Chains A and B, each alone.
Chain A
Amino acid sequence: MRSLSVLSLVALLGGGPVLAQGPTYGLGRTPTPEEVRAWDISISPDGDELPLGRGTAVEGALVYRRSCARCHGAQGADGRAPRLVRTDRPREDPWDYGRILPIRSPYAPTVWDYINRGMPLNMEGTLTADEVYALTALLLYWNGIIAEDEVMDAQTLPAVQMPNRENWAPLPDWQPGTPRLPGYPY
């Protein structure tokens, strides 16, 4: 009771954020900026974390031939690894092309993120930022989204208008103790 009243007295007297929490356990240390930078690889839809660098589809074709074609096929369609380019038959709804990242993703930085963290298989992390920009440009070009000579970098990539930009369902606003979909199916 006493500590409570002292706390409310402080709250009344002080204008500052008295409820801002300090550390309770004092465990761990502050990471260095280098440590944060080295691990901070998830790229937001807005591209906030995109690094310096640039590339075009023309440059990407060279990287692709060297690093990707063996598994994904010469044109991104006939490899034993998943297809990267939409089918020739045009579809009205981009979802109907199936799970092809550079056509389905609502945001182009997601394509960069996937290549950067996941490719090439067994040699993840070996592509330079320029090479990832170039490969991203190639896949966007192959899928009819950008021109062959368009430069992709930290400014232009987030601005690419992906066909599914407005064509996906937001996730539910989850709160504890909520049913997953009220009224389903009763």
Chain B
Amino acid sequence: METERPDRRAFLKKGAALAGGLTLGAAEPGAGQTAPTDPAQQAPAQQVPDHESPELVAYGVRSHRVTSVRIAHPPQGRPSPDEFGLIFHIATPLQDQMGAITPNSLHYIGTTRGSFVPDIDPKEHRLMIHGLVDRELIFTMDELKRFPSVTRPHFIECAGNRANRRMVTVQETHGMTSCAEWTGVLLRTLLEEAGVQPGGTWIVAEGVEEVKGASSLPIAKAMDDIIVAYGQNGEPLRPQNGFPLRLVVPGFEGILSVKWLRRIKVVDEFYMTYNDYGHLRQDADDAALSYQWGPKSVITFPSGGQQLTGTGFYEVRGLAWSGGGAVTRVEVSTDGGRSWKDAEIRGTPQRMAHTLFTFNWTWDGSPAELMSRCTDELGQVQPSRQQVREFWGVPEGQPFSVKGQDNSIQPWRVESDGSVHNAIA
């Protein structure tokens, strides 16, 4: 999937020349390939530039031939940084990801109104727990790391991760979610250390960045599985993702996973504070659907903007996840949802974590429409956009936006020339 850009452009040009009724033959060389030559005739490989520099010996970087990058989201929307220098929404290149874990440099970024990224000295950083507790406490990072820890994979997903028909790639339709293995201490452990008093029904979690971004969370979630995380995929959190300390709120909308965390206050009501207010809803069903993510999945290969290189075998790949727990089933359709077959789930699905699925597919060169559908441990099933339309009574033909968080099925149309397109009507 990962190709150097000039090669890819050259190939696409070639693909366009071949289009017009012709399908790409299976024997056609793929991107960047040349005709087979005698291995003995090939020149020795060039050295990677600067590979012996002290910097690269000390800290490695990816190949200069790998060019996958994040992009501002939504496309044609607000840039990051914007004209004020604020970082707003930046999407992960899911189409290039291998496996279920997002590399830290490519993890999506979301901030509420746009934010600056604070430079925090972990030696000076503190976490305070106060409010309706028996013992107010303040911790250093070193003290937090002495508590019993957990290491768990969890996805985080921005409420703005919604697809529309104008979007082209899976990075645009689904890139505002990522999955990492988070290390930290359970919030429950810290709250039990402080002793939550009767009447403590909510918490307010607050960051240290310039706006002191704050979110309200029900105590039932705080005492369940929220992680006060300092580690991400084997290293300290990245600054853009909350260094040195953040909440990871498994399965809830991403805005609640407060970054640069410095304070937890146990309170007796929903505080409707900074991060909360913009997410208020008028309709109770809409509010419920705007909280915990439903079962969701998307095919990342082949996906919008990609080009099949000929008829024959393809391993269809994608990611499935749910805010309701572990993925229990993923189905794939190649005929636009008329028939479904079980996909293979790779590994043991983890709760509230991206789960890799694959599906063996032989493309015969005729137009196809690829979809995936996720079922979770609660029995929730990912809906089609048509089912969402019927649930809300949106008349046929009227364009609509999925209410609450969008977990609807993503269709990709494969044309006979091998090009792949977003098929949202």
* Residues of chain A whose beta carbon lies under 8 Å from any beta carbon of chain B: 20-25, 27-31, 35-36, 39-46, 80-81, 95, 99, 101, 104-107, 110, 113-114, 117-118, 121-122, 124, 167-181, 184-186
Question: A170 — which chain B residues lie within 8 A by C-beta?
Answer: 270, 284, 287
Q: Is the CB of B271 within 8 A of A45?
A: yes
* Residues of chain B whose beta carbon lies under 8 Å from any beta carbon of chain A: 83-84, 86, 113, 128, 130, 134-139, 143-144, 146-147, 189, 192-193, 195, 204, 206, 210-212, 214, 218, 220-221, 224-225, 262-263, 265, 267, 269-274, 277-278, 280-289, 291-294, 323-325, 378-381, 383, 387-388, 390-391, 404
Q: Is the CB of B281 within 8 A of A177?
A: no
Q: Would A36 and B128 be within 8 Å (CB), given that A124-B211, A186-B381 are in contact?
A: yes
Q: Would A169 and B286 be within 8 Å (CB), given that A31-B130, A44-B271 are in contact?
A: yes
Q: How far is the CA of A184 from the CA of B407 in the complex (A)?
A: 11
Question: A117 — which chain B residues lie within 8 A by C-beta?
Answer: 211-212, 214, 274
Quick one: closest A residue to B262, CB to CB?
Answer: A39
Q: How far is the CA of A185 from the CA of B286 in the complex (A)?
A: 12
* Chain A CB within 10 A, most for which of B287, B387, B390: B287
Q: How many Å from the CB of A89 to the closest CB on chain B?
A: 20
Question: B273 — which chain A residues lie within 8 A by C-beta?
Answer: 42-43, 110, 113
Q: Is the CB of A31 within 8 A of B136?
A: yes
Q: Is the CB of A36 within 8 A of B289?
A: no
Question: A27 — which chain B residues lie within 8 A by C-beta?
Answer: 139, 143-144, 146-147, 193
Q: How many Å from the CB of B227 to the closest CB on chain A?
A: 15
Q: Is the CB of B291 within 8 A of A174?
A: yes
Quick one: closest B residue to A109, CB to CB?
Answer: B272
Q: How far is the CA of A121 from the CA of B86 in the complex (A)?
A: 10
Name 8 A/B residue pairs within 8 A (Cβ), A-sorted: A21-B192, A30-B135, A118-B274, A167-B282, A177-B324, A179-B379, A180-B293, A185-B390
Quick one: closest A residue to B219, CB to CB?
Answer: A174
* Chain B CB within 10 A, most for which of A81, A95, A101, A117: A117
Quick one: closest B residue to A31, CB to CB?
Answer: B138
Q: Would A176 and B147 be within 8 Å (CB), given that A113-B273, A181-B285 are in contact?
A: no
Q: How far is the CA of A118 from the CA of B86 in the complex (A)?
A: 13
Q: How far is the CA of A104 from the CA of B282 in the complex (A)?
A: 10
Q: How far is the CA of A104 from the CA of B276 in the complex (A)?
A: 13
Question: A169 — which chain B residues lie within 8 A by C-beta?
Answer: 280-284, 286-287
Question: B193 — which chain A residues lie within 8 A by C-beta?
Answer: 23-25, 27-28
Q: How far is the CA of A175 from the CA of B206 in the complex (A)?
A: 23
Q: Is the CB of B287 within 8 A of A172?
A: yes
Question: A41 — which chain B residues lie within 8 A by C-beta?
Answer: 206, 212
Question: B86 — which chain A residues lie within 8 A by C-beta?
Answer: 121
Question: B323 — which chain A residues lie within 8 A by C-beta?
Answer: 180
Q: Would A30 and B136 be within 8 Å (CB), given that A39-B263, A185-B388 are in contact?
A: yes
* Chain B CB within 10 A, most for which of A22, A23, A106: A23
Quick one: closest A residue to B382, CB to CB?
Answer: A185
Q: Is the CB of B138 within 8 A of A101?
A: no
Q: A23-B135, A23-B193, A175-B220 are in contact. List 17 more A-B contacts (CB 8 A).
A: A25-B146, A29-B138, A36-B136, A42-B214, A43-B271, A44-B269, A45-B272, A81-B84, A105-B272, A106-B272, A168-B280, A172-B288, A176-B225, A178-B292, A179-B379, A181-B289, A185-B387
Question: A173 — which chain B residues lie within 8 A by C-beta?
Answer: 218
Quick one: closest B residue to A111, CB to CB?
Answer: B277
Q: How many Å from the CB of A91 to the closest CB on chain B?
A: 13
Quick one: closest A residue to B286, CB to CB?
Answer: A169
* Chain A CB within 10 A, most for which of B211, B277, B289: B277
Instruction: Find B324's partner among A23, A36, A99, A179 (CB 8 Å cutoff).
Output: A179
Q: Is the CB of B281 within 8 A of A35?
A: no
Question: B391 — which chain A residues lie within 8 A by C-beta?
Answer: 184-185
Q: How far is the CA of A21 from the CA of B192 in the complex (A)?
A: 8
Question: B277 — which chain A residues lie within 8 A by C-beta?
Answer: 101, 104-105, 110, 114
Q: Is the CB of B288 within 8 A of A181?
A: yes
Q: How far is the CA of A163 from the CA of B281 in the complex (A)?
A: 15
Q: Would A30 and B138 be within 8 Å (CB), given that A171-B291, A176-B220, A180-B292 are in contact?
A: yes
For the complex of A and B, the 4 pairs showing the least CB-CB separation, nearest first, are A169-B287, A185-B391, A28-B137, A31-B138
Question: B381 — which chain A residues lie within 8 A by C-beta?
Answer: 186
Q: Is the CB of B325 within 8 A of A177?
A: yes
Question: B288 — which chain A residues lie within 8 A by C-beta?
Answer: 171-172, 180-181
Q: How far is the CA of A117 from the CA of B289 in the complex (A)?
A: 29
Question: A184 — which chain B residues lie within 8 A by C-beta?
Answer: 285, 289, 294, 383, 391
Q: How far is the CA of A35 from the CA of B225 in the complex (A)?
A: 28
Quick one: closest B residue to A44, CB to CB?
Answer: B271
Q: How far is the CA of A113 from the CA of B214 in the complex (A)?
A: 11
Q: Is the CB of A171 within 8 A of B138?
A: no
Q: How far is the CA of A39 from the CA of B381 in the complex (A)?
A: 43
Q: How many Å from the CB of B100 to the closest CB on chain A?
A: 22
Question: B146 — which chain A residues lie within 8 A by C-beta?
Answer: 25, 27
Q: How many Å from the CB of B287 to the closest CB on chain A?
A: 4
Q: Would A180 and B274 be within 8 Å (CB), given that A28-B137, A80-B83, A168-B282 are in contact?
A: no
Q: How far is the CA of A168 from the CA of B282 in the complex (A)?
A: 4
Instruction: Find A42's partner among B144, B206, B281 (CB 8 Å cutoff).
Output: B206
Q: How far is the CA of A101 from the CA of B272 in the complex (A)?
A: 12
Quick one: closest A residue to B112, CB to CB?
Answer: A118
